[in-house]
Structure 1
Amino acid sequence: MSKHEFSIDMACEGCYNVVTQVLNKLGGVQFKIDLPNKKVCIDSEHSVNTLLETLRKTRKTVIYLGPN
């Protein structure tokens, strides 16, 4: 599994819940959400493109920060 870090424009618990929902639907991922710093660390075998595509379903601004 590879670890990847993303910056996501999250402002509240609702944003946290939306990110959690889309990642749980993808399956095969373990993740930690750091709401105060607006970061998500994902441990997954999915490609970065698949993870970006999934996170963009939240309709939030998503930036790939690199491997973690």
Structure 2
Amino acid sequence: MPKHEFFVDMTCEGCSNAVARVLNKLGGVEFEIDLPNKKVCIDSEHNVDTLLETLKKTGKTVTYIGPK
């Protein structure tokens, strides 16, 4: 599965929990959250647009960094 890296403006554990919650609802994803660096690495068959829209549901600023 392709890996994609995103910048998500997370400031606390609650933020990272929100990210985990929306990604788990999407299904078919494996992900790592790097809270200190505000990055989320997602291993998924979903396309980048779907992942971006899903992450934006958290209300955080989200930017696609690129493939990892």
**Same fold per TM (> 0.5)?**
yes
**Corresponding pairs, count:** 68
Q: Measure, in 2, the Cα distance between the counterparts of 1:30 and 1:64.
A: 17
CA-atom RMSD in angstroms: 0.3
Q: Any gaps of 5 or more consecutive residues in structure 1?
A: none
State the TM-score, normalizing by the size of structure 1.
Answer: 0.99
Offset at 1:52? 0.2
TM-score (norm 2): 0.99
Q: Report runs of 4+ in structure 1 exceeding 2 Å deviation.
A: none
How many Å separate the matches in 1 of 2:45 and 2:8? 20
Structure 2: tracts of 5 or more residues without a match: none
Identical-pair percentage = 75
